[in-house]
C-alpha cells in the first residue's frame, strides 16, 4: 500500500503518465474522427509505425523536429487517402483494407529503414524535443511537472483534442461529419458528398495517427526501432470505444490508461514486483483495455453507420 502511495506522490510518475498518454491522445483523436464519419480504421497500428519512422528519418537526415512532425503527418494522410478511397467509393471491407494498410505501412517503414541503414546494430539517435516548462504552472507541486513541463508535442496533443471536440460538436463541418457516420442518406439529401466527407475524415485522422507515432521517436525514445509501437494503435481503438466516441472522455481514458501503465512500470521495482514475473505487469495494460471494452460496450452509442458502406442512389 505504501508502495502505491509512494508511486502516486512522486513527480516522475506524473511526468511519465502524461508522456505515455500523449501519443495515445493523438492517435485516439485520429481514430475517433474516422469512426465518427463512419469508417473503422484498422490501419492505425501501421500508420503509427510509419509516422514514427518518417518523423525520425526526417530529423536524422538533418530536418527540423517540426518538419519531422509535418512529414509524418503527410505520410499518414497519404495512407489515410488510400484507405479512404478503397473503403468509401469502392466499398471494400474496412476490416480487410485496414489490416492491409497496417501490414503495408509497417513493411514500408521496415523496408525503408533497412534501405537507409543497411547494417546497423544499435539504432542511431536524434536529439528529440526538449521540455518547455510553462512558467508558474510548472511549479505546482506534484502534477505541475507532469502536465506543464512536457515537450511542445504533448501540449499540441491536448490542443488537437480540444480542436477535435470543437470542430466535431460546434461547427457545421463537424455536424456534417457526424451525420456521415450516423445517417449518410440525410447528408446526401443536404447536397453534401458523403464520399468526400468520409475520405477527408480518414485522411486527417490518419495524419493524426502518424503524429502519434512520430511522438514516440521525436519526443519519447529518440530513435526508431522495430516493434516500437507494440499494439498502441489497437489500444487507441479500445480507447475510442471506452470514451463513447467523445473526445473529452477518450482523453480521460488515455490518461487513465497511462496512469496504469506508468504505475505498473514502477510497481515492478517494488517488493510486490519482485514476487511476480515481469510479464504479468506487461500484459496488464492489454487486459485492462479488454476489461474497459467489456464495461463500456453496453453503454456506448456506436455511430449508427460505422462500417456501413454508402453507395449513392442505393436504398
Partner 1 sequence: MRLEPVANPGLLRRLGLPAAALVATVVTGSLLALSAGADPLATLGLIVTGAVGSKFAALETLNRATPLIFTGLAVAVAFRAKLWNIGAEAQLYAGALVTAVLGAHPIVTGVPGMALIGLAAALAGALVLLGPVLLKTRLGVDEVVTTLLLNFVLLLVVSMLLEGVLKDPMGMGWPKSAPVAKSVRLPRLIEGLRLHWGFGLALIAAGLVWLMQARMRLGYEIRAVGLNRAAARFAGVPVGAVLVKTALISGGLAALAGFSEVAGLKGTLTLDLSPGFGYTGVIVAMLAALHPGGVVVAALFVAGVFVGSDAMSRAAGVPSYIADLLLASALLYMVLAMQLVRYRVVWR
Residues engaged in binding partner 1 (CB under 8 A): 40, 42, 82, 86, 89-93, 95-97, 99-101, 103-104, 106-108, 110-111, 114-115, 118, 230-231, 234-235, 237-238, 241, 277, 279-280, 282-283, 286-287, 289-290, 293-294, 297-298, 311-314
Half-sphere exposure of 190 (CA within 13 A, CB side): 16
Q: How far apart are CA 207 and CA 239, in angstroms?
A: 18
For residue 91, the minimal CB distance to partner 1 (Å) is 6
Give the integer Cα–Cα distance in Å for 32 and 42.
Answer: 12
Cβ-based nearer residue to partner 1, 132 or 234: 234
User: Which CB, 93 or 183, lies closer to partner 1?
Assistant: 93
CB of 29 closer than 8 Å to CB of 36: no
CB of 223 to partner 1, least distance (A): 18
Shortest CB 5 distance to partner 1, Å: 28
Rounded Cα distance, 220 and 299, in Å: 34
DSSP 138: G
User: Least CB distance from residue 231 to partner 1, whole Å?
Assistant: 5
Q: Which three cell numbers stand for residue 180?
A: 456521415
Contacts of 115 (CB under 8 A, 6+ apart): none
- 215's grid cell: 511522438
Residue nearer to partner 1 on the CB measure, 123 or 146: 123
First and final C-alpha spacing in the chain: 60
Q: How far is the CB of 162 from partner 1 (least distance, A)?
A: 26
Residue 155 or 226: which CB sits closer to partner 1?
Answer: 226
By beta-carbon proximity to partner 1, the closer residue of 7 and 236 is 236
User: Which distant-in-sequence residues (6+ apart) come within 8 Å of 192 by Cβ?
Assistant: 176
- Of the two residues 146 and 212, which places its CB atom closer to partner 1 in the complex? 212
Query: Min. distance of Cβ 252 from partner 1 in angstroms?
Result: 19
Amino acid at each position: 500500500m505504501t508502495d502505491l502511495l509512494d508511486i502516486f506522490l512522486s513527480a516522475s510518475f506524473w511526468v511519465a503518465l502524461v508522456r505515455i498518454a500523449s501519443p495515445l491522445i493523438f492517435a485516439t483523436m485520429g481514430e475517433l474522427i474516422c469512426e465518427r464519419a463512419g469508417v473503422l480504421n484498422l490501419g492505425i497500428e501501421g500508420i503509427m509505425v510509419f509516422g514514427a519512422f518518417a518523423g525520425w528519418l526526417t530529423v536524422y537526415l538533418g530536418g527540423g523536429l517540426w518538419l519531422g512532425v509535418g512529414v509524418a503527418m503527410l505520410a499518414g494522410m497519404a495512407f489515410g487517402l488510400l484507405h479512404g478511397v478503397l473503403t468509401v467509393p469502392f466499398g471494400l471491407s474496412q476490416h480487410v483494407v485496414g489490416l492491409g494498410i497496417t501490414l503495408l505501412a509497417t513493411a514500408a517503414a521496415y523496408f525503408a529503414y533497412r534501405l537507409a541503414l543497411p547494417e546497423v546494430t544499435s539504432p542511431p539517435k536524434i536529439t528529440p524535443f526538449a521540455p518547455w516548462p510553462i512558467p508558474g504552472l510548472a511549479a505546482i507541486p506534484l502534477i505541475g511537472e507532469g502536465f506543464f513541463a512536457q515537450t511542445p508535442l504533448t501540449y499540441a496533443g491536448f490542443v488537437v483534442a480540444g480542436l477535435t471536440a470543437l470542430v466535431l460538436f460546434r461547427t457545421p463541418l463537424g455536424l456534417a461529419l457526424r451525420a456521415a457516420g450516423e445517417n449518410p442518406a440525410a447528408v446526401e439529401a443536404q447536397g453534401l458528398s458523403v464520399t468526400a466527407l468520409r475520405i477527408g475524415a480518414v485522411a486527417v485522422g490518419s495524419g493524426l495517427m502518424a503524429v502519434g507515432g512520430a511522438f514516440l521517436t521525436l519526443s519519447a525514445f529518440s530513435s526508431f526501432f522495430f516493434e516500437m509501437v507494440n499494439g498502441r494503435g489497437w489500444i487507441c481503438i479500445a480507447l475510442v470505444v471506452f470514451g463513447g466516441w467523445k473526445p473529452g472522455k477518450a482523453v480521460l481514458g488515455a490518461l487513465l490508461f497511462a496512469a496504469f501503465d506508468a504505475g505498473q512500470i514502477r510497481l515492478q521495482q517494488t517488493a510486490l514486483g519482485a514476487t511476480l514475473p515481469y510479464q504479468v505487469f506487461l500484459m496488464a495494460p492489454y487486459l485492462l483495455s479488454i476489461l474497459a471494452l467489456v464495461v463500456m460496450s453496453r453503454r456506448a452509442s456506436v455511430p449508427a453507420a460505422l462500417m456501413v458502406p454508402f453507395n449513392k442512389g442505393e436504398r
